[in-house]
Amino acid sequence: MSTRTARTPPSSRTPPSSRTPPSSRTPPSSGTPESSQSSRTPQRPSRSASGAGSGPEGAPARSKALEIQGFRGLAALSTVIFHVWQQYYRYDADGSHPPLDNPYIGSLISLEVIDLFFVMSAYLLTLSYARAAIDGGSLRPAGVFLFRRAIRIVPLYFIAVLVVWSSRNSTLPGNWLDLLEHLTFTHVFDREQIFYTLGPVWSLSLEIAFYLALVALGPLAVRACRPLRRRATRVAVCAGGCLVLFVLPLIWIAVARYVFDVPHTNWPVYFGPQARFGGFAAGMGLAVLMVALGERGRLRTRWAVALPALAVAGAYSVSLDSKPENFTFTFYHPLTSLLWALMLFGTIHTAQRMRWHGLLRARWLTYTGLVSYSLFIWHEPVMLQLHASGLLPAGQSGFPLAVLVVLLVAVPTAVLSYWVIEYPSSLLGRLKDRSGKPRDFYPELAR
């Protein structure tokens, strides 16, 4: 049996009449893929689905953009496999029964990647603020940042919510509260509605909260660092701020669990931004570290292989050890956030490209990363529709075949969604210039 069966909620939640059992892992959030690049062209699939490239929010060197894109692709595929695993869980009087009764396989499939998406999102979007605070320079207006985030996330999200909600509410007013909360990104605070309609998109509420926090705290950090003469002091101020943002959720979780004995099934307590901001804080800290180091301290072959391997092994060990209400269960997300940040550091800050980076740079995987937000959004409705139509194999022994069937349908759906909805929406970014003003497409007419 999976070691974390009861640890996290039913993120693949179906309508009230046909709910799925509690899962052992929550999905990514684009950050989750939803934090994909604010603008990209079809000729440049190498840009990270979290904004890698020379975008307005800052980005790593293009030489590492493909590796980040590959991580997004792996995480997105892992999420699909997990939700099929969750669909094939069975519960009876004797307890829970995973499709494959092997704790090692269960821990691998249940390895959370949502925190990886949070770390990548925060890292990519914090870089420009870290550069401005530590090395000087200007920032684009907060309005431009939020506009680009909105056109990246909102169109596909609203379309998916409206389509799925309409298919499950055939008469008006239907579950209007569920719809209202999803459209306002407040469903994460509702214990009953948090996983309705599109179960995995609870994480988008946290993404939105992070964006608002970043445009508020980022400029404050820049202003606080400007009077400081020493670069080391500016680095320390930025790093200290990230540490505070990481520690505060730890305190919240500890008080909720050990002082008030709040059960883990009280989802808003442990899944709200006040509890899960540590993933973003780890990514922000990584951005500060990368800016502080610059070209110094790049990892040679031994460490460039050892650090990512140790980080992944550590995350797997935490998943294997995590059991309801034990220490690793309670602090699973902060622990894995630090490990994912270590993995990214060991991948990005290298003196040369490692052989194992070839997997991350594989075209099929980077393309999966490119469409990962659409895959994140649509894979659950696709899976549930296939199940309702009897197109998935019956019985737990059908789990491997079910994974293949869902992928064969969900991936093409994601590709279509990307080119029909995501990419055209990203072109809206051209409506504003770098300063945030409406772009003049016909300047010659103004003369």
**pLDDT tens by residue, 272-324:** 999 999 999 999 999 999 999 999 999 998 999 999 999 999 999 999 999 88
Q: Residue 63 — pLDDT band, cuts 50, 70, 90?
A: low
Tokens (6 digits) for 415: 């590709």
Average of per-residue pLDDT values in the chain:
85
The predicted pLDDT at position 5 comes to: 36
Q: Residue 235: pLDDT above 90? A: yes
Cβ 271 vs Cβ 202: under 8 Å? yes
Residue 204 pLDDT > 50, yes or no? yes
CA–CA gap between residue 231 and residue 296 (Å, rounded): 15
Q: Residue 52 corresponds to which tokens in the numbers above?
A: 């890698």
Q: What is the mean pLDDT of residues 132-139?
A: 89
Contacts for 30 with CB less than 8 Å, ≥ 6 apart: 36, 49, 50, 72, 117, 121, 207, 372, 373, 376
Tens of pLDDT, residue by residue over 381-404, are 999 999 999 999 998 899 999 999
For 410-431, b/e burial (b = at least 16 CB within 10 A) is bbebbbebbeebbbebbebbee
Give the pLDDT score at 440: 67
405, pLDDT greater than 60: yes
Would you state the pLDDT for residue 32? 55
Q: For 327-356, what is each residue's pLDDT tens digit? A: 999 999 999 999 999 999 999 999 888 889
Q: Is the pLDDT of residue 41 over 50?
A: no
CB 279 within 8 A of CB 115: yes
Q: What is the pLDDT of residues 100-123, one digit of tens each?
A: 888 899 999 988 899 999 999 999
Structure-model confidence comparison of residues 25 and 300, the more confident one: 300
Helices vs strands, H then E, count in the chain = 17, 2
127, 290 in Cβ contact below 8 A? Answer: yes
Q: What is the pLDDT of residue 443?
A: 59
